[in-house]
Each structure stands twice: as structure tokens, then as C-alpha cells.
Amino acid sequence: MPAPNIRNRHEAAVRGMALGYPEAHEDFPWDHRAIKVRGKTFVFLSNGEPGLSVSVKLPASAEGVLQLPYCEPTHYGLGRSGWVTATFGPRDAVPMDAIRSWIDESYRAVAPKRLVATLAPAGAAAPARKRLRPSRRPSRPGRRAE
């Protein structure tokens, strides 16, 4: 199936934010754009609405975010696991800073700890990455280098 088109600048911006994380990639299950890390989805973008619909996993902030008028628990039972969907019409103001922080929380909730460790501390403006260093085995006492 061909990839769904990006319909507006907000969707393009959200897609770009999510794909900026280490090992993030797109998939297209159920006619939705899914951004995944190592096979686990951390962002869904809807493919059937004229505005923008973003679903993210928010284990820490879901309760507060659900108080916003444009947010609801994600359908299909995902809301019970902390997934929240924000839906905006074509002329609605889209809080991109909030969405950026939600994507960050969702990535950190889903990604392996090793990948999360490469990020700047939570709350930083962008997913600044640390350089991954090769692991070093500790030297054993009494063993000579050859």
C-alpha cells in the first residue's frame, strides 16, 4: 500500500518531530501513519480527517492532558494504557509546543532505555542526541595486554 499523503503543514511538522528521534521510522497500519521505534509505535497520525489527529502514549501526563477540550482517550482500548488522541479541525490553532512535549514523553515511554539515554534530559527543546559509545569490557586484574 502506498504511503498516505501529508495533508497539511501541521501534520508535516509533527511527522518531522517524531522522525527526529533515534531509530524512528514510519509504518502505515490500518490506513494511519504510525511512527515507531524498534517496532513499537509512539505516535499515530490519522489518515482520514481534514485537520490533524495525533495519538501518543502519555503515562505521566495523560490525566492532565485529558482535561483539554480537544483531547480524549484513544479508541480501540488504547486509552486504558495511557494513550491520548488530540484532534484539531482545519482552522483550529494547534499547540505545537505541547505536541512536541507529548511526542517526547511517548518516545521515552516506548523506546528501549539505551536509546532514551542518548537524549537530552526530558523537557529539552529538541531531541538532542548523545553519541553512543561502544561498550568496553572491564579489564581483568592480572591479565597482560598482548
Between the CA of residue 97 and those of 15, 102, 108, what are the distances in Å?
14, 9, 17
**What is residue 137's predicted lDDT score, i.e. its pLDDT?**
45
pLDDT (tens digit per residue) in 13-41: 999 999 999 999 999 887 789 999 999 99
Is 138 within a domain?
no
Is 55 within a domain?
yes
Task: Indicate whether 3 pLDDT > 70.
Answer: no
48-62, 81-95, 112-126: lowest mean pLDDT where? 112-126
Is 64 within a domain?
yes
**CB hemisphere CA count around 126 (13 angstroms):** 8
Which residues make beta-bridge pairs with 100? none
Is 57 within a domain?
yes
Domain CATH for 81: 3.90.1150.30
**What is residue 119's predicted lDDT score, i.e. its pLDDT?**
92
Domain span including residue 87: 9-116
